[in-house]
Structure 1
Amino acid sequence: MSKPKVLITRKWPASVETKLKQLYDVSLNEDDLPLTSEELKSALQNYDAVCPSVCDSLPAEVLNASNKRCKILGNFGVGYNHIDIAAAKENGLVVTNTPGVLTQSTADIAMTLLLMSARRGAEGDRLVRAGKWHGWCPTHMLSSDVTGATLGLIGFGRIAIATARKAHHGFGMKIVFFNPSAPDPSVIEELQATRCDSVEDVMRRADYISLHCPGGPDTRHLIDDKMIRLMKPNAHLINTARGDVVDSKALIDALRDKRIAGAGLDVYEGEPNIDPGFLTLENATLLPHLGSATLSTRNAMGEKVLANLAAFFEGREPEDRVA
């Protein structure tokens, strides 16, 4: 019996690619260049499984390709708003993701951004590298305290809770959050957290606001000009969720006008095509989507995809099916 044909759209960790070669008739992306829409359509027509990542846009136009051979999209990542889920269902495509394994690494990046934004870390690094630092001064680059400050979380899933634990137990931060559904009461007790009635309430109360909600039409531009104007003048916005949750123009305007103190971003609308307005701002800390970028995490994500593919091809329900 021939092995299923599988396409990997980007380069994966070597250990996972080795296993893929053993298990499947696999095509790897040795050049690690993003596929075009036409290439993705062709992949759907010629492979039993396609394994995309966040950089692969799979709208209805692509998923509606004629004469499809593909039956499963094994997404390399927990977020899947780059895939039109409704169109996938209409086309009989199973979609899986990789939850759980990137929780701690992404929470680490949220805290990294929070600390860098609060203490003007990126700005200070640029100053030293440019040879413009002339020595210690009592009033130089004064910044904001983190210890004891209030952290507000929009969304309260795995990554948000992990971030809250690091902030509360490590820095004594007070935790407030908004989530549509009620979380485990023991977690609220552990973190001495306060559940707010609305996103607006979090925006008003917090010194640091960290976004942990899913992307997609329901949350696109959730954080818009109106929401940002609710923030304290000394507040910072942290985004490790999805870029389209934030209205980039509104955030750039607020940062430029110093209506808020700073922002730490790991994700962007239309990435990697970042709005050039961000590049001119000293009070914006910008990372290149590093949330899950540790070797152990990326290996674990690959193993999740392998497990989902194995279950599908063996006729079992994939554990991480989202469509």
Structure 2
Amino acid sequence: MANYEEKRFEGRPRVIVTRRLLPLTEARMRELFDVRLREVDVPMTRDALAAAMRECEVFVPCVTDHIDSQLIEQAGPDLRLIASFGMGTEHIDLAAAHARRIMVTNTPGVFTDDTADLTLALIILTARRFAEGERVLREGSWGGWGPAELLGQSLGGKRLGIVGMGRIGQAVAHRARAFGMAVRYHNRHRFPAAIENMLAAHYEPDLDRLLAESDFVTLHCPASPQTHHLIDARRLGLMKPNACIVNTARGQLIDEDALIAALTEGRIAAAGLDVFATEPDVNPRLLATPNLVAIPHLGSATVEGREAAGDRIIANIRFWADGHRPPDMVLPALP
């Protein structure tokens, strides 16, 4: 564990958690650690984050807490572990933490199936225009069944383009096969033929071609300077008029102004979003588009997934306290 201390921690580590966790997780933390839990489930202010990082040995943030280099530089000398709740780590300046010899861990894999399930749900909802139908009922404007009423499209035989083929992208590919969809994927690296055969997925190195030829597109990329507005006005313009786009990854991947224009002008059929660029504030013009299915960041919102993430955090803290490398330790990317 180069550049990090390898010694057993004496006593109960001082732990501060930034958000409310499930009762089972919080109870276990009280048993094992000298923990300060949140009494109200609202995000900490920046000043509160800074104060917490000066007072603890283990800091447990969530993906909505932005832990930048300035906060890390101001952290107290006792802070040795940032055990983040969630798979993504783009909200933490990993290089700054590494420079301070502060370990960072995450909770990979625990939300894979839940997020993949939600992705398929959004694909179905956008394909079949279910959200529009629900609004018609709620508004009392439904005139009854008709052979040309709110026609959507079938999934069987359609081409699904997956952008980012990590754990979640692969899980989506598995599910898409059951619906008879043809899967194409774009990724930084191509998988070996054995994995492609297992997933029944074909590699497309050209993202523009993937967008132009897909009936449905789903995004599973991390947020980074390279992926910011990956789907912009030009790329939305490449998509078919009857195509749908789904995003359960990060809101910054799509230029929302360009998406609003594409939806409003009918240049794509629909969009399904679980994430937004400026959460929790969502552009009202985006929400006003009738061909949008919008869900408030529920990709990981299952009891089972949240309990599993809590278990992983506790395990990472215990490994660290025992002087071992935590199983989910994250290092900064190589330059």
1:302 matches 2:276: no
Q: How far off is 1:66 after superposition?
A: 5.1
1:245 matches 2:253: yes
**Aligned partner of residue 86 in structure 1, secondary structure:** helix
Instruction: Give distance in 2, aligned partners of 1:88 and 1:142.
Output: 52
Output one character per residue of 1:223-282: Cα deviation in whole Å (capped at 9) or x when no partner. Answer: 111111111111111101111111111111111111101100001112111122211111
- Aligned residue identity for 1:94: M
Match of 1:76 among 74, 85, 96: 85
1:285 matches 2:293: yes
Output one character per residue of 1:128-173: Cα deviation in whole Å (capped at 9) or x when no partner. Answer: 11211121111111112212211000011111111111111x1110
Counting aligned pairs with the same residue, the percent is 39
Instruction: Give distance in 1, aligned partners of 2:97 and 2:207.
Output: 31
1:290 to 1:229, Cα distance in 2 relative to 1, 3 A: same
Instruction: Tell me the equivalent position of 1:254.
Output: 262
1:161-240 matches, cutoff 5 A? 161-168=170-177, 170-240=178-248
1:20 matches 2:32: no
Instruction: Give distance in 2, aligned partners of 1:298 and 1:10.
Output: 12
Q: How far off is 1:127 after superposition?
A: 1.4
Alpha-carbon contact 1:41-1:62 (below 8 Å) kept: yes
Alpha-carbon RMSD across the aligned residues, in angstroms, is: 1.3
Alpha-carbon contact 1:240-1:265 (below 8 Å) kept: yes
Instruction: Give distance in 1, aligned partners of 2:62 and 2:192.
Output: 31
Instruction: Give distance in 2, aligned partners of 1:113 and 1:4.
Output: 42
Which sections of structure 2, spanning at least 5 residues, go unmatched? 1-9
- Aligned residue identity for 1:3: R
**Aligned partner of residue 216 in structure 1, secondary structure:** coil
Instruction: Give distance in 1, aligned partners of 2:207 and 2:79.
Output: 40
Alpha-carbon contact 1:74-1:95 (below 8 Å) kept: yes
Instruction: Give distance in 2, aligned partners of 1:34 and 1:259.
Output: 37
Aligned residues between the structures: 322
Instruction: Give distance in 2, aligned partners of 1:205 and 1:12.
Output: 42
Q: How high is the TM-score relative to the length of structure 2?
A: 0.93
Instruction: Give distance in 2, aligned partners of 1:126 and 1:152.
Output: 28
Output one character per residue of 1:11-64: Cα deviation in whole Å (capped at 9) or x when no partner. Answer: 111111111000001111121110000000011100111111112121223222
Output one character per residue of 1:197-227: Cα deviation in whole Å (capped at 9) or x when no partner. Answer: 1211211111000101111222111111111
Alpha-carbon contact 1:44-1:68 (below 8 Å) kept: no
Alpha-carbon contact 1:59-1:84 (below 8 Å) kept: yes
Q: How far off is 1:184 after superposition?
A: 4.1
Instruction: Give distance in 2, aligned partners of 1:235 and 1:130.
Output: 27
